[in-house]
Amino acid sequence: MSIGRSGQSTGRGIEVRHLRAFLAVADEGNVTRAAARLRLTQPAVSRTLAALEQHLGVRLVDRSTHHLALTPEGVVFRDKAAAAVAAFDEALDSGGLHHWPLRLGHAWSAFGPYTTPLLRRWQERYPRTPLELRRIDDRTAGLTRGEVDAALLRGPVEAPGLVTEVLYEEDRVAAVAADGPLADRAALHLTDLAGETVVLNTVSGTTTIALWPPSARPAATLTVANTDDWLTAIAAGRGVGVSAASTADMHPHSGVTYRPLVGAPPVPVLLARRDAPGHPALPKLVALAREVVGRGGG
C-alpha cells in the first residue's frame, strides 16, 4: 500500500486516517468527542471505524454501552495502530508533527512524591509527546482494557499479559476519623485496628483482610468502590482504613487523620505495561521513572 504525505493511501485498503479515527475513539470512549477532536462529523468517524473493522474482520469497539469500550482485539490493535501512526508521523517530519499522547493510568496517588518531578521532566525533555495522567478506578487503572498505555499500580498484580517493574516501596499508614480516639495516637499497629470496622476498597485498593494475622483479624468490614468513598466513610466514623503512605499527601481530607502503621509490610509501587510493542515512547517513560526514583525526586 502506497501512502502519500496527507496520510491517504493511493490504493485500496487501510489508510492512516482509519487508524487516527480508531485511536481517537479509543482515547475518548465516545464517537462524538472523537469527531470533535479530529474535526470531522460523527457519521464520518463512524463510517471510518466500521470500514476499518470490516477490513480487519474483527470488532474493535464494543458499542453496547454509552461509553464505548475496546474489545480484547481492539486492545491489541490499539498498540499496533499507535505505533504505526507515530512511525508515520516521524518519517514525514521528525521535527514538527504532533506526537500521539502517552496515557499513564493510576487508581489513586499516582507516583506519590515523584509525580510532579516525573511530569515536569517529561515536559522538559519530550514536549511534543504529551504525558496524560489518568485516574481510573480499576485494579490495573484501565491498562488491561486499553484505556491507558502504562499504569502506576500498587501491590501485586496478577492480570495476564502485563509486564511490571517495581520502582520503589511505600510504608503503610492507618487512616482514622479526625475526631476519633485513634487520631490521638502517634502511631498505630494492626492490632489497634482489629476491634474496628475496616473500610476496604475492593475495586482498586491493595488492602485485604489477609493483611491481619488470622488470630487478630477485624470482625467487620465495609466495602467501597473508590478512594473518594473510602475517605468519606472513614471521615464519617464508619470505619478505619489502611493505605500506602503517599495517600496521606495525595488525598488529604479534613475529616481523616493518617498515622504510621507499625509492623505492616510495605506496598510495592509498580510501573506496568502490556506485553506488546505499545506506544513508541514507553521506553523513555520507563527510563525516566527509574531516574526520578533514583534521584529521590529532586
Q: Are residues 3 and 90 in the same domain?
A: yes
Tell me the residue type at 128: R
The helix, strand and coil proportions of the chain, stated in percent and rounded to the nearest 5, come to: 40, 25, 40
**Please, which residues have CB within 8 angstroms of residue 48's CB and are 6 or more apart in sequence?**
17, 18, 21, 22
Q: Which three cell numbers stand for residue 114?
A: 515523584
CA distance 17 to 74: 17
Q: Are residues 6 and 90 in the same domain?
A: yes
Q: Are residues 179 and 92 in the same domain?
A: no
Tracing cell 527509574 back to the chain, one arrives at 290
3-class secondary structure per residue, 99-142: CCCEEEEECCCCCHHHHHHHHHHHHHHCCCCCEEEEECCCCCCC
In a domain, 277, yes or no: no
In a domain, 89, yes or no: yes
In a domain, 282, yes or no: no
In this structure, the strands spanning 69-70 and 61-62 are antiparallel
Q: Which three cell numbers stand for residue 276?
A: 506488546
Tell me what pLDDT residue 93 has. 60
| Contact (Cβ atoms closer than 8 angstroms) between residue 124 and residue 112 | no
Q: Are residues 95 and 184 in the same domain?
A: no
Q: Are residues 1 and 91 in the same domain?
A: yes
Q: Which three cell numbers stand for residue 26?
A: 479509543
Tell me what pLDDT residue 101 has. 85
| DSSP letter assigned to residue 214 | G
Number of domains in the chain: 2
In a domain, 273, yes or no: no
CA nearest neighbour of 281 among 16, 75, 20, 85: 85
Domain range enclosing 241: 172-265
CA nearest neighbour of 70 among 55, 85, 58, 56: 58
- Polymer length in residues for the chain: 298
Q: List the Cα angle 108/109/112 in 5-degree steps.
A: 155
CATH of the domain at 42: 1.10.10.10
In a domain, 29, yes or no: yes
Q: What is the pLDDT along the chain (298 residues), one digit of tens a residue?
A: 333 333 443 345 788 899 999 988 888 888 888 888 888 899 999 999 999 999 999 999 998 766 788 898 988 888 888 778 877 776 776 554 456 789 999 999 999 999 999 999 999 999 989 999 999 988 899 898 888 999 999 998 888 889 999 999 999 999 999 999 999 999 999 999 999 999 999 988 899 999 999 988 998 999 999 999 999 999 999 999 999 999 999 999 999 999 999 989 999 999 999 888 788 889 999 999 999 999 987 6
CATH of the domain at 237: 3.40.190.10
CA nearest neighbour of 254 among 234, 240, 238: 234
In a domain, 237, yes or no: yes
Tell me the residue type at 182: L
CA nearest neighbour of 205 among 246, 239, 242, 253: 242
Ramachandran bin of 141, using left for φ above 0, alpha for ψ from -120 to 50, beta for the remaining angles: left
Tell me what pLDDT residue 11 has. 40
In a domain, 164, yes or no: no
In a domain, 178, yes or no: yes
Tell me what pLDDT residue 3 has. 39
Tell me what pLDDT residue 6 has. 37
